[in-house]
Structure 1
Amino acid sequence: MTASSPGSADRWRVFRATGHAPAGPPVALPKPPPWRQFQGVVPDSEPDTWDSGAARRLGSNKSLAQLGEAEIDIVNAAILLRRPLLVTGPPGIGKSTLAYLIAREVGLGRVLQWNIVSRTTLRGGLYEYDALGRAQSVAQLAAPRRESAEKAPDPVEPAPLGDFVTLGPVGTALLPTRRPRVLLVDELDKSDIDLPNDLLHVMENGSYDIPELVRGNVAEATVRTDDPGGTTTVHQGRVECAEFPVVVITSNGEREFPAAFRRRCLPLEMQPPGPELLLAIVEGHLRHRPDGVEELVEEFALRLGSGGTHSVDQLLNAAQLITQQGFPKGRQGRALIETLLRDLSKAQ
């Protein structure tokens, strides 16, 4: 499958799966539907969200699209309608990479990644509150101070409540910004059974409260965000987005989601990449085409098509190894390649 080129038939698209960052200013996004408009107030200055880690995911600026025309249309519909994109398919075929591809091409900065496990809670995705640190801070103020009789103790101000709040990836994605952030919710099917419905309410409302700030009646609190070194100001303990984030939710199909959740998402099923795309991925990451890589790609494509569990990372590792000077070409080298390309669904 190949990415589409601009033309009159796809003028409505903001994403074409080219893998290229914008040469000039990022593409302007159309206004969201009236029912997906939110009231968050964008601050005068916004943090720099340039993502230095995207290159590790995408490699050099090559075409990495494995989406056909219909799939590209679904991605665009999700962006324009401000609806989450539910991406399914076998493990290791690039579902999470799609979020980075969208962020690069549309010019949306650093991807906020929320990795899901069975213990993950919605609150952890929204924010963390260091209750122990806060209690220790208050206890230190309440402890008697040893002062000389000649000098009265200096007044001590408690640490601001916001010092103990850190926004998670979901909470950061819902901050008011001029352009939407990209939020990757990775492997949601591994979550507790209630998490999809809990997440649904936040995705519908585009807002959330931080009860600790609300109860403390804090008019303004400076809190840390999920961006490295990032901070933001939260007013009255409430966060509401101005632009709903581009949400990419991945699933390996280990369980079904509730109908109410699926109704609010746009489904996209990704297929295993073919030899042409695999070769482009290898070239994009290694920045050249190693000798003998075509045979390696053909072999890996056959393994993908024969079932089991394989990841593109395995192919990249193998391709990197065969470029090393002096890498053994005989039985020893073959045994190592077999180990790298093994079926991951098997114990050994």
Structure 2
Amino acid sequence: MTEYEQEQDAPAVDAAGADGTAWRVFHATGAAPAGAPPAIPPAPPWREFAGQPLQPAPADDDRAERRRLGAEDPRPSLRDDEIDTVNAALLLRRPLLVTGPPGVGKSTLAYLIARELGLGRVLQWSVVSRTTLREGLYAYDSIGRAQAIATWRAGVTAGAEASAGAGAAVGAGVEPAGREQPPQLGDFITLGPVGTALLAYERPRVLLIDELDKSDIDLPNDLLHALENGSYEVPELVRGALPAVSVFTDDPGARAEVVGGRVECREFPVVVITSNGEREFPAAFRRRCLPLEMRPPSREQLVSIVISHLRSRPEGVDTLIDEFEKRVREGGTQSVDQLLNAVHLTTAGGFQADTDGRKLIELLLRDLAKGR
């Protein structure tokens, strides 16, 4: 029996805290909860927040989950130390700073957590060199609002002129035109992925901040303030002095009420920050994150990934896995996605894995570090 099989047969031992909730609630099985989702342990006193009003629970995004994770598979897809680090981040309400070679599954981890804990749609923020914190928090369409106000004012003026020329009709009980409400400020504000994740939800949202190492040098420190405080302000709403405003969120078709122009979470989101190691982050930022270095998957994990995505174990898959592992051992930069593409291609009807077919497999399994 292999070490992996022994781990499968071994009973799970998760010590419970004073409230009876096990601290280890995430097991990386890739299986959605059969009934009620598992309870997440209470936050430390210094990571408790009191945001309001509570927002409705987000819907699931089954398509995105299937695309990232494949079918549900009861076998763990991470190593024990990696699972423990994720659980520690959940318990301590701290972001995960996930590093590792390209294609090892850093971004997929966010979807794995969301599915297993029943936390709904993953909020994803993809970072580039020009990305600013405001883009992650919210967007304000000032031009659209100015145009809408101008159109509304023109309608009011036209309505007033029409009313002046139709006094008799008004006296007969006919309402004059041009009395629509002015454009609402909230209709021109959309919360970004970070801003939506920091709304007040009863259970935490999952926020994926992808490739933060590509950002401008100031972004990690700017982001640190919002994540440390679990809150932020929308200056346009603060200046508007309205008690509550309904704005759009990053969830399709959804809106949320913002009170006093300030957003604060109730449960700190599950934040997964990925990095390909292109540069170092400031010490103040790293101090507030839990580091998780993901290693290439084991053979058993590769088999599990192939089965979950292809819904079967195709003939000849072991040969491709052998070749994939050999390339990794030789120091090549390989992605699990390359293996899935090669397996799917070789199982296509009529494909011949020799001569030109062999060239295609070599192309799919090429070393990504060589630039071609």
Relative to the length of structure 2, the TM-score reads 0.89
**Alignment counterpart, residue 352 of structure 2, candidates 328, 331, 341:** 328
Q: Give the aligned partner of residue 264 of structure 1.
A: 288
Q: Give the aligned partner of residue 204 of structure 1.
A: 228
Which amino acid is 1:249 matched to?
Answer: I
Q: Secondary structure at the match of 1:268?
A: strand
Which amino acid is 1:159 matched to?
Answer: P
Partners of 1:308 and 1:298 in 2: how far apart?
14
Q: Given the alignment of the two structures, is residue 119 of structure 1 paired with residue 130 of structure 2, yes or no?
A: yes
- Aligned-pair CA distance for 1:262: 0.4
The share of aligned pairs that are identical, in percent, is: 63
Q: Give the aligned partner of residue 197 of structure 2.
A: 173
Q: Give the aligned partner of residue 104 of structure 1.
A: 115
Q: Given the alignment of the two structures, is residue 242 of structure 1 paired with residue 253 of structure 2, yes or no?
A: no
Q: Given the alignment of the two structures, is residue 145 of structure 1 paired with residue 158 of structure 2, yes or no?
A: yes
Partners of 2:150 and 2:369 in 1: how far apart?
52
Partners of 1:153 and 1:287 in 2: how far apart?
61
Partners of 1:201 and 1:315 in 2: how far apart?
40
1:159-170 residue pairs with structure 2 within 5 A?
159-170=183-194
Partners of 1:21 and 1:192 in 2: how far apart?
37
Pick which of 298-307 and 20-29 moved more: 298-307
1:1-348 residue pairs with structure 2 within 5 A?
2=4, 7-9=12-14, 11-43=22-54, 46-52=56-62, 53-63=64-74, 65-143=76-154, 145=158, 147-148=161-162, 150-151=165-166, 154-348=178-372
Equivalent residues of 2:114, 2:121 under 8 A apart? yes
Structure 2: gaps spanning 5 or more residues: 16-21, 167-175
Equivalent residues of 1:14, 1:29 under 8 A apart? yes
- Aligned-pair CA distance for 1:8: 3.1
Q: How many residues align?
A: 347
Equivalent residues of 2:126, 2:209 under 8 A apart? yes
- Aligned-pair CA distance for 1:63: 4.3
Which amino acid is 2:324 matched to?
Answer: F
Equivalent residues of 2:57, 2:202 under 8 A apart? no
- Aligned-pair CA distance for 1:112: 0.7
Partners of 1:309 and 1:218 in 2: how far apart?
54
Per-residue deviation, residues 152-195 of structure 1 (Å, max 9, x unmatched): 65324211000000111101101101100111111110111000
Partners of 1:31 and 1:307 in 2: how far apart?
43
- Aligned-pair CA distance for 1:141: 3.1
Structure of larger gyration radius: 2
- Aligned-pair CA distance for 1:302: 1.6
- Aligned-pair CA distance for 1:72: 1.5
Per-residue deviation, residues 18-62 of structure 1 (Å, max 9, x unmatched): 22111110111121001000111243x614421211111111111
More helix by share: 2
Partners of 1:64 and 1:97 in 2: how far apart?
16
- Aligned-pair CA distance for 1:304: 2.2
Equivalent residues of 2:107, 2:210 under 8 A apart? yes
- Aligned-pair CA distance for 1:347: 3.1
Equivalent residues of 2:196, 2:249 under 8 A apart? yes
Superposed CA RMSD in Å reads 1.8
Partners of 1:155 and 1:241 in 2: how far apart?
38
Equivalent residues of 2:23, 2:91 under 8 A apart? no
- Aligned-pair CA distance for 1:70: 2.0
Which amino acid is 2:43 matched to?
Answer: P
- Aligned-pair CA distance for 1:64: 5.9
Relative to the length of structure 1, the TM-score reads 0.95
Q: Secondary structure at the match of 1:345?
A: helix
Which amino acid is 2:56 matched to?
Answer: E
